[in-house]
Structure formats: structure tokens, C-alpha cells
Structure 1
Amino acid sequence: ICGSSLIGNTRSVTAAHCWRTNTFQARQFTVVWGSNALMSGGTRVVTTNVVVHPQYNANNLNNDVAVIRHNSVAFNNVINRIALATGSNSFAGTWAVAAGYGRNGDGSGSSNPGKFQANLLVITNDVCRQTFGNTIVASTLCVSTAHGSSTCPGDSGGPLAVGSGNNRQLIGITSFGTQWCARGFPAGFARVTSFASWLSSQ
């Protein structure tokens, strides 16, 4: 299970490791829009057309970004695109919202049948390096999970967003964390401002 974000009628963005790791290669994605339930409802499209960032590194998850190309989906009151963040804002000190169908704690053994979301505080990369070392590069964005909320296994590829309504922006793509998602360690995302140009070109 992975998340994604709709960035156009025929394009969604997710984490590259959802499609390919050193030991796993997906064959297809079933993309779901317009439903808070994982296994039912909404609009569902199957695709095998996934473009992984050319500098994706499966060992350290740098450039952990991929574009899903799919049949056109119509926008409506429950399905809409999200704008890509651009510019030089680091968003450090900003509260953002992550969403996904992953586990809701260290003790839960499987993904959730419904979507959860968490309010997370963006931290500086220097603070994040205290946990993850040189894995943290300029194109990484990190959040604090000290307030008891975090992304967990099953949330990969999903959104980290700021703003609301038509002003909502995608600032991160859920990428990595520690093996414990409820113990206060930071969580890492692909920084969308670093990839906005490439994403838009796909």
C-alpha cells in the first residue's frame, strides 16, 4: 500500500520506492481517487506507466520520487489536483498535514481500511541529520513527530501539504522514517520544491 497525490488529470506523484526497490519491482498500480475507504468506492484506474526519477537511489532513498501516468480523471468536488510547491521556502517551523492508509502505530500489523491524517511540524535538515546523518540532503524535507503523530509503514508516497482549499500546496512526498513510527523520531519526505520542475515536465 502506498499513497499518491493527483497533480493533473493524467498524472499523480508517489515515492519511487513504491514502484521499485533493490529487491522488489511492482508490475502495476491501482490508483484510487475520491474515497476515504481503501478497498471500496471512488474512481479506480489500473496503470503500468510509472516514471521513476533518473537519480533515484534505492539505497539511501535520495530522489525518492516517481510520476504515475494514468487515464484522465475528471475533477469534481471530491477529486482535484494539488499544486506543487515551488521557490526557496524551506517550510521549517511550518505545520503541515500528512495523509495515508498506513499503520496507526508501532503495534498495528497492517494498513488501515480508512485514511488517517496527521499534523506535523517541519524541522530543519540540520536537526534531521542528528537522527539520519548524511542521508539527509538538500532535496530532503523532515518533520518532527514529537507530538505523538507520524507517518508509518503504508503511508509512503502520500502527501505532506500546507494551506487549505484552492491554496493547498504539496510540499513533501512521504519517503522514510525509522522502524518505529510512534517513538518521536523524525520522518523524511522528498522536498517538492526540489523536484517541481521535473514533475511538471512529466
Structure 2
Amino acid sequence: MKSIIFLCAIFLTLVSVLSEVQTNYHDAIGIPTANRIKALEEAIQANRNITIENRIIGGELAPLNEYPFFAGLIISLVGTPDPGVCGASLLSPNRLVTAAHCNFDGIRLAHEFTVVLGSNMLFYGGERIVSRKVIMHPNYRHQFFINDIAMIYLPRNAKITNIVKPIRLPNYLESWKQFLGFQARSVGFGVTTDGHTLVNPDSLLKHITLQVVDNSQCQLKNDLNRPNYDILCTSGYGGVGLCHGDSGGPLYTIDETSTDKSIFLIGINSYKYGPTCTGGTGYTRVTSYMHFIALHLNN
């Protein structure tokens, strides 16, 4: 009897924690976020100044050529005319990596992706390539954001310029690092800090600096059933953090040992815990999926 009570207590605790982690991404977050971004960009195109909420909280305007690897994703979904939105990282002229839940969140399945490169806006500007080939990790589990990674195949090469170019992956030595305590940056479509600032019509793409924290901290605040070694966590303390609508986007850090201070990808935005944007963020740890990525980069 005591064993049954103990197991029930564990189950209820897990359910309570998981209830704080959004699983029906597109209906709850992706579609509403896409609608808000589209309305905002239409207003900007019409030269109207408006005030909107943050998506990257505490973020700063991102120069167009500083993040040439970032791609916005406009996602056509089966069963609804409304698109969803995610981010992705360009790894080669015709391959990108994103979160698997951008393709299938357990309810909504993507029909096609419009990949937007070289633009600070999502619905206007840049190079746009439509893809219908997305390969999710074979062991992806949407219920717990396990193996939340997917590769996007482009039907043609993107034009590589100073504002469109791939980000590098961790090298052999970097692949063994845990990155604990590292300063890392994330990029996504959002606005400035407080929700009361007029939007700059030249840029909607934002960046934010976060600190990589111990996985145990992230697991206490996120999914208790998440494997330890396949996630990477950042702190949301101090009034900064990412909102749910930045799913699939990059987390990267700087190679301080290189002469050119090159940047490389270490995480893919996977999930948030709780209703606010300033909590911790869980990322798919890139170094745990180098084989999966290499398989599709070289295919």
C-alpha cells in the first residue's frame, strides 16, 4: 500500500511539473505568435508606430549581418490556414537544424516550411525558400521534448553572402565541453525590453546574452523526465529570458581561443517552464546529436 502511495506521489509530481511545460506548441504559441508578428510587420510597412510585448525579454536589436546563420520559419500546418512560427540555424547552403516540435508538436503537423534568410523581418524581405522535407530525430518524443531536433532539407542552395552564411558546429575538443558557466547568445524575432518601447522599423530580429547553468537547475524547473546529458540550460534570472515563440532558434557561444573569435552552435531552443518568459530555458544540446546532424549534412 505504501509503495502504491509513493508511486502515485511521484506521478502527481511529474504531472504537475509537465503541466508547466507547453506541449501543444502551435495552437498555444506558434500560431498566435505568427499572427502577432505579421500584424506588427504590416503596421511597420504602413509606417505606423505601435507598442507590443516582448518575445526575447531583455533583448537588443540584432544587426542584420551579425547573425547570418539565423533563419525564420513560417510553418504551414495541416488542418488550419493559420501559419506557425519557429527559428532555425543554417548549417550548410541547403541544410538547417531546428526543433522537432516545430514540425510536429503532438497535435499539429507541418505541411511545409518557408525558410526566411537574411532578413530582420519574418513576413517581409530576405531570401525565401520553401521546403517540404524535414527529418525529425527517430527517437523524438513530443510529450517530454526528448530528442527535440530536426533537419530541414532545402530544394536548392541558399545564396551565401555577408548576411546569409552557415554557423559552424562544435569541433572535436569542443564536443566534450559541458559549457557550464559560459556566456551564450540566442537570437529570435522580438522587440525591446519593457513592452512600452516603439518598434524600430529597421529591425525586429533580437539577440540576448544568457548564462549556461547546471542541468540540475534546469531539471528542477523543467521536465523531471528529461535525460541529463541531452539538454543544455540557461538561466532566466535577472529579468532576461526567451519566450516560447523563439522555439528552434540557436544558442551559440564564442571560441575565445581562435584569432577571429569564431562562434559555434551549442543549443537549439526547445522548451520553457511556466507561464512567464523570464524563467529557465531548455535547449537540445548540439554535442549530443553530432552523429544525427552529420548524417543529414552529408546525405
TM-score in terms of structure 1 length: 0.90
Match of 2:205 among 115, 130, 140: 115
Consecutive unaligned residues of structure 2, counting only runs of 5 or more, are 1-84, 197-202
Per-residue CA deviation, residues 8-56 of structure 1 (Å, 9 max, x unaligned), is: 0110000000000111101000001111111111100011000001111
Partner of 2:188: 100
Partner of 1:194: 288
1:83 and 2:173 correspond: no
The farther-off stretch of 130-139 and 47-56 is: 130-139
CA–CA distance in structure 1, aligned partners of residues 192 and 271 of structure 2? 15
Q: Deviation of residue 130 (structure 1)?
A: 1.8
The farther-off stretch of 126-135 and 69-78 is: 126-135
Partner of 1:29: 113
Contact residue 120 and residue 145 of structure 1 kept, 8 A: yes
CA–CA distance in structure 1, aligned partners of residues 160 and 168 of structure 2? 14
CA–CA distance in structure 2, aligned partners of residues 95 and 6 of structure 1? 21
Query: After the TM superposition, which residues 116-135 of structure 1 pair with which residues of structure 2 at under 5 Å, given as runs?
Result: 116-132=206-222, 133-135=224-226
Across the aligned residues of Structure 1 and Structure 2, the Cα RMSD in angstroms comes to 2.2
Q: Counterpart of 1:147 in structure 2: which amino acid?
A: G
Per-residue CA deviation, residues 151-175 of structure 1 (Å, 9 max, x unaligned), is: 1121000000111767110000000
Match of 1:151 among 242, 245, 259: 242
Consecutive unaligned residues of structure 1, counting only runs of 5 or more, are none
How many matched pairs? 198
CA–CA distance in structure 2, aligned partners of residues 16 and 106 of structure 1? 31
Match of 1:178 among 265, 270, 273: 273
Q: Counterpart of 1:76 in structure 2: which amino acid?
A: T
1:10 and 2:94 correspond: yes
1:19 and 2:103 correspond: yes
Query: After the TM superposition, which residues 45-64 of structure 1 pair with which residues of structure 2 at under 5 Å, given as runs?
Result: 45-64=129-148
Runs of 4+ in 1 over 6 A off after TM superposition: 103-108
CA–CA distance in structure 2, aligned partners of residues 22 and 190 of structure 1? 18
Contact residue 191 and residue 206 of structure 2 kept, 8 A: no
TM-score in terms of structure 2 length: 0.62
SS of the residue corresponding to residue 80 of structure 1 reads coil
CA–CA distance in structure 1, aligned partners of residues 134 and 116 of structure 2? 15
The farther-off stretch of 145-154 and 4-13 is: 145-154
SS of the residue corresponding to residue 135 of structure 1 reads coil
Contact residue 103 and residue 152 of structure 1 kept, 8 A: no
CA change 1:75–1:179 in 2 (3 A) is: same
SS of the residue corresponding to residue 60 of structure 1 reads coil
CA–CA distance in structure 2, aligned partners of residues 201 and 179 of structure 1? 35
Contact residue 114 and residue 128 of structure 2 kept, 8 A: yes
